[in-house]
Structure 1
Amino acid sequence: MFLFSRKKIASKVYAISAAVCVIFLAIMMSFIFLHQKNEAIKLTNEVRAKLLNIFDENENIADAITTKYTTSLQHGGCDIPALEQESDEWHWLKSNNADDDRGSLFLNKQPDLAERCLVSSALFVRQNIAQSDLSTKEGFRYIISMRQKMFYFFSSIKSDAFSIEDSKMFNELPFYIPTMPDYYKRKLTHTLTQKGTVATPIYHDLITRTNAYSVVSFIYDLNSSTVPVAYLLYDHNLEELHGLAKSLARQNKWVKITLYETDSPKKLCIFGCDIRLPLQANVESGLSSQFKVITHINIFGSIYHSVMFKLLIPITLLLFMLVVKLASRYLTSVARHTLIDHLTGLYSRNIEAELKPATLERRFFALVDCNKFKSVNDRYGHAVGDKVLQMVADVIKQTIRKEDIAIRYGGDEFLIIIKTEQKSDALLVMERIAEEIARRSIGVNDDVITSTISYGVSRFNRDLKTSILLADKEMYKMKKRQAQ
């Protein structure tokens, strides 16, 4: 029976197990977060790629209109449907015939040949877009002419929802579209920042009544100039952006995607706008010289919503139980190594630190000394002396009970702490030990070695040291009697 404090070992075991599990959880949660962050990076790249694809398609449509417009001006005959006049504005709206949907056109005066060719080219390309595989054929796209106040919307809108005079974009066009890039410089580069203006700043859209920004491509008359004659815009309003991101973001309830202007505090929340981010990490991806897409990651939310995290809880519990078992074995082994005398298998004197006065009440102390042990060592050597000590220890272990404590106190001395109410019972135990030791012998070559012991017994008195001193005095009284 080990006497060392099991409470101390238990507290150490649970502390070690908890520390291991905390470290394990921290490492695994870091791995989970890195995995989720990679998912967020993929998501950011998907959103960015989708937005860039929209820009590329708008560029292709602008190129198609440019080509058609340039050739139409060369050949003339740019007929367009008749316009309706209302006050100082000419327009057409959606035809009563659903198959004759032309979009919506608004002008502040009758169009000249250039405007008619521009509109007819847009109509031609628009019809072909409807039969194409472009992903943006349902998007809100329109043309602003630079030569006069003209808007042509690819989609049909009500006249009371829009007026040229109310258009802040047109009235402040240089603010929204400040540059007029050269055609060839724009075409002979893949770098977005080298293509000139690619989008407007964020603005409040009068038609959708929400914040928006527009991708800008340019229409040219290649007969006379490489400077744009009109703008082709594709509107990214909040509803459209939310739908775009939602189709990509899936079930990522821990992700918030925001479009930021690089040179102003303006922003558009694309996805996850209601997500709270008490502790967040950001993944940023440049979209153009004007915009960047930032994916905000709710760190705890990303971990919590991971399938791996749901598996991590039972795994951690299993790990805790395993570490408890292993740590308990290890610490018990360490305690055994520290407190057990390896020659005799009894407790060593290190056990004294574990012997508390409260546990020693109603016990008797017996101090044992092997008689003439030095002469055995001198004559036969320490190896034989060790055998004598092992024999004495075996007798003690076989004689005492589980609740008694046997200690190799030093050299050839042993301390036995016997739990009993009567000194006579303790003396009886010691008599049996002494008789058994005397009966045993050890053969060395042709010699037979027998051993005897002297012992003294005293009741526990105040503390360990006092009790051992009293037992020591009793032992020397026995030695004197044996010497007479």
Structure 2
Amino acid sequence: MYLFSRKKIASKVYAISAAVCALFLTIMMAFIFLHQKNEAIRLTNEVRAKLLTIFDENENIADAITTKYTTSLQNGGCEIPALANDNGQWHWQKSALAAGDYGSLFLNTPPGLNERCLLSSAMFVRNYIAKSDLSTKEGFRYIISMRQKMFYFFSSIHSDSFAIEDSTMFNNLQFYIPSMPDYYKRKLTHKLTQKGTVATPIYHDLITRNSAYSVVSFIYDLNSSNVPVAYLLYDHNLEELHGLANTLARHNKWVKITLHETDSPNKLCIYGCDINDHFQTNVESPLSSQFKVITHINIIECIYHSMMFKLLLPFTLLLFVLVVKLTSRYLTRVARHTLIDHLTGLYSRKIESELKHATLESSFFALVDCNKFKIVNDRYGHAVGDKVLQRVADVIKHTIRREDIAIRYGGDEFLIILKTEHKSVAQRVMQRIAEEIARRPIGVNGEAITSTISYGISKFSRDLKTSILLADKEMYKMKKQQAPSPAK
């Protein structure tokens, strides 16, 4: 029968089990977060790679126009479709005079040879783009000419959505495209930061009516100068950026992707804009000298939305149950070990602190003393004395009932708590113990040593100490009544 406090062990069991599971859950959540962070890094790199691919494609298109433009100037004969003239502005697709799909053109003066060759080269390359496998062939791309106030859009736009005089970019082009990089220095490097200005700052787009920025590539006349003669721009508007990010990050509900200017607070949110900024960490990746891609990770959300976390919760519950069982078994074993007398295998006196009043009520107490035990120790030695105590304890252990409690009370004294309300029952148990001990002598060097005991029985009275004192008095009465018998 386990007498130690179940409540004490239970509280320790649950505390230890909760601590183990909390530690396990913390470690696993950290592992999940690192896994999700790696996913965010991969996602950031994918977004960055996609944007760089768009830039590279724009560079290749600009190179193609440069080549065609340079050779066209050499060969001459740069034919373009007829232009309409409305109030001094020359254009395509602004009136019924336009025929065919040529894109959209706006000029403030009639085009000269350079402008015609630039337009014919752009249209030539534009036709090839439509048949190509470029990812940006449906993107919004246009040319700005520095020599003449000219915008040429590869796509058709509505006549009322754009006018040259309304363009902040054209009227302040040096702000949006401040540098004029040398052709060969630009081409003979892989470093984006050394390619000159690669994008405009973030601005408000008059056509889409939302924030945007443009990738900038340069068109050259290699016959005469290494300085650009026109700019090829590819617009990254919010709608396009949202579509790009949604394609790459549609399953990641815990990230927000933003594009930041490196030297200003301007930014574009391109995915997960409703993700709050609490419990957040960031992953950055440079895009160019002007921009960087930042993926914001909501730590709680990234863990919560992980499939691993959803599997982790029931596993942690099972772990808690397992740890409770193992810890309970271990602590029970330890508790019993500390309360057991190692010589006899009975409870030691330490069990007294664990005995509750309810356990002691309706019980009788028997205090047992081994007769003439000192003589046995003196004559045969303590090893034989230990054997006597073990024999007495073995008889007590196998004679008492399951509900009774046997304690080595000290030296050669034993305390037996008998769960019964009838003294006659307690007397019968103690009589069987005394008779069995007397019947089982111990052999030492061919000599049989017979042991006897004296005992006293008392009913529980007030508390444990009082009950034991009453049993002790009864035991000494029995000792006086017994006739002396020499030890053999």
Question: Which TM-score band (shorter chain)?
Answer: over 0.9
1:73 paired with 2:73, answer: yes
Distance 1:279 1:18 in 2: 25
| Letter matched to residue 133 of structure 1 | D
Post-superposition shift, 1:318?
Answer: 1.8
Choose 226-235 or 319-328, whichever is displaced more: 319-328
Q: Deviations over 1:337-367 (max 9, x none)?
A: 1111222221111111101234322322221
Deviation by residue 1:138-162 (Cα, 9 ceiling, x = unmatched):
1000000001210000001111110
Distance 2:463 2:313 in 1: 49
Alignment of structure 1 residues 85-104 onto 2, 5 Å? 85-93=85-93, 100-104=100-104
**1:374-408, CA deviations, whole angstroms, 9 ceiling, x for partnerless residues?**
22222223332222112211221222222221101
Q: CA deviation at 1:304?
A: 1.9
User: Is 1:62 aligned to 2:69, yes or no?
Assistant: no
For 1:129 and 1:97, the matched residues in 2 are separated by 26
CA distance in 2, matches of 1:464, 1:194: 92
The answer for the alignment partner of 1:308 in structure 2 is 308
Query: What are the residue-to-residue correspondences of 1:329-340 with 2, within 5 Å?
Result: 329-340=329-340
State the TM-score, normalizing by the size of structure 1: 0.96
Check whether the contact 1:256–1:296 (CA below 8 A) recurs between aligned residues. yes
1:120 is aligned to: 120
Given the superposition, is the C-alpha separation of residues 187 and 479 from structure 1 closer, same or farther in structure 2, using an over 3 Å criterion?
same
Measure the CA separation in 2 of the matches of 1:177 and 1:86.
29
CA shift, 1:99, in A, is 9.4
Aligned to 1:374: 374
Are the counterparts in 1 of residues 94 and 159 from structure 2 also a CA contact under 8 Å?
A: no
Asked whether 1:446 is paired with 2:446, we answer: yes
Residues 84, 98 of structure 2: 8 Å contact kept: no
CA distance in 2, matches of 1:94, 1:136: 25
Compare 377-386 and 208-217 and name the one that shifted more: 377-386
Partner Cα separation in structure 2 for residue 329 and residue 285 of structure 1: 53
Q: Which residue of structure 1 lines up, in the alignment, with residue 259 of structure 2?
A: 259
Q: What is residue 187 of structure 2 aligned with on the other side?
A: 187
Tell me how large the CA RMSD over aligned residues is: 1.9
Task: Report matched runs for 1:135-214 at 5 Å.
Answer: 135-214=135-214
Q: Give the corresponding residue for 2:242.
A: 242
Whole-Å Cα distance in 2 between the matches of residues 263 and 277 of structure 1?
Answer: 22
CA 1:161–1:364: 2 relative to 1, 3 Å:
same
Matching residue of 2:274:
274
Query: Which range is displaced more, 428-437 or 124-133?
Result: 428-437
Match of 2:434 in 1: 434
CA shift at 1:163, angstroms? 0.2
How far apart in 1 are the matches of 2:96 and 2:472? 122
The Cα of 1:96 is off from its aligned counterpart by 7.7
Q: CA offset at residue 30 of structure 1?
A: 1.3
In the TM superposition, what is the alpha-carbon distance from 1:188 to its structure 2 partner? 1.3
Q: Which runs of 5+ in 1 are unaligned?
A: none
Decide whether aligned partners of structure 1 residues 368 and 180 sit closer, same or farther in structure 2, where only a CA change above 3 A counts. same
SS for the counterpart of 2:482 is helix
Q: CA deviation at 1:422?
A: 3.9
For residues 120 and 63 of structure 2, the distance between their equivalents in structure 1, rounded to whole angstroms, comes to 15
Query: What's the secondary structure of 1:313's corresponding residue?
Result: helix
Shift of residue 239, structure 1, vs aligned partner: 0.6
Asked if structure 1 preserves the Cα contact closer than 8 Å seen for 2:83 and 2:98, the reply is no
- Report the alpha carbon displacement of residue 111 of structure 1 after superposing the two structures with TM: 1.2
C-alpha separation in 2, matches of 1:386 and 1:316: 50
C-alpha displacement of 1:424: 4.3
Partners in 1 of 2:189 and 2:446 — Cα distance?
107
TM-score by length of 2: 0.95
Aligned to 2:219: 219
Matched with 2:283 is: 283
Q: Quick check: 1:258–1:294 contact (8 Å CA) kept in 2? A: yes
Aligned to 1:35: 35
How far does residue 95 in structure 1 lie from its aligned partner after superposition? 9.2
Does 272-281 or 449-458 show the bigger shift?
272-281
Q: Greater shift after overlay, 253-262 or 145-154?
A: 253-262
Name the structure 1 match of 2:391.
391
Whole-angstrom CA distance in 1 between matches of 2:98 and 2:257: 38
Unaligned runs of 5+ residues in structure 2 are none
CA distance in 1, matches of 2:174, 2:163: 19
Separation in 1, partners of 2:86, 2:280 = 54
Q: Distance in 2 between matches of 1:160 and 1:96?
A: 14
Residue 453 to residue 146, structure 1, CA distance change in 2 (3 Å): same
SS across alignment from 2:102: coil
For residues 419 and 342 of structure 2, the distance between their equivalents in structure 1, rounded to whole angstroms, comes to 25
Counterpart amino acid of residue 460 in structure 2 = F
- Cα deviation for residue 236 of structure 1 reads 0.1
CA distance in 2, matches of 1:418, 1:329: 27
Deviation at 1:97, TM superposition (A): 11
For 1:100, what is the secondary structure of its paired residue? coil
* AA aligned opposite 1:469: L
Q: Quick one: which amino acid aligns to residue 175 of structure 2?
A: F
Q: Distance in 1 between matches of 2:389 and 2:269?
A: 84
Structure 1 distance, partners of 2:386, 2:135, is: 93
Q: d(CA) in 2 for partners of 1:200 and 1:142?
A: 14
- Cα shift at 1:450: 0.6
Q: Aligned partners of 1:260, 1:122: CA distance in 2, in Å?
A: 31
One-letter identity of the residue aligned with 2:478: M
Q: Report if aligned partners of 1:72, 1:117 keep a CA contact under 8 Å in 2.
A: yes
Report how many aligned residue pairs link the two structures.
484
Q: CA 1:98 to 1:357, structure 2 compared with 1: closer, same or farther past 3 Å?
A: farther
> Cα 1:141–1:326, aligned 2, differ >3 Å: closer, same or farther?
same
Paired residues of 1:90 and 1:106 also in contact (CA < 8 A): yes
Contact kept, 8 Å, 2:179 with 2:196, in 1: the verdict is yes
Partner amino acid, structure 1, of 2:439: R
Instruction: Give the Cα separation in 1 of the matches to 2:2 and 2:129.
Output: 88
User: Counterpart of 2:243 in structure 1: which amino acid?
Assistant: G
Q: Deviations over 1:302-355 (max 9, x none)?
A: 222222122212211221221122111111111121111222221111111101
